[in-house]
Amino acid sequence: MPKFVIEREVPGAGNLSDAQWREIAQKSVNVLKGMGPEIQWLQSYVVGDKVYCVYLAPDEASIKEHARRAGFPANRVSAVRRLIDPTSAE
């Protein structure tokens, strides 16, 4: 399954409370359940006014449809071409 990184511009994201993030996560999960198992949210990173999410999905259109249904921005969707880590140096 292809992996994607989604950049979401969310002003004030870094200042949202745990309760606000819980509500956002619940909304995302509910939309994902309605879309079926072919799209999966793996994790997200909150940095200042942006959120970077990692998803598995069959295509970019699925990512954009999830964003539309959930009411989240998907300012940039990038397909992961290769994963590297410290073991790549060996």
| Residue 59 CA from chain centroid, whole number | 13
pLDDT at 22: 96
Give, for 14, the enclosing helix (H) or strand (E).
Answer: none
- Sort strands 76-79 and 50-56 into parallel, antiparallel or unpaired: unpaired
Structure tokens at 57: 């999905």
Assess contact for 78 and 27: CB atoms under 8 A.
Answer: no
DSSP letter string, 29-84: HHHHHHH-TT-EEEEEEEETTEEEEEEE-S-HHHHHHHHHHHT----EEEE-----
Sheet containing 3-9: which strands, arranged edge to edge?
A: 40-47, 50-56, 3-9, 76-79
Residue 29 has a pLDDT of: 97
In the chain, what are the domains?
A: 3-81 (3.30.70.3090)
pLDDT at 25: 96
pLDDT digits (tens, 9 = 90+) for 16-75: 999 999 999 999 999 999 999 999 999 999 999 999 999 999 999 999 999 999 999 999
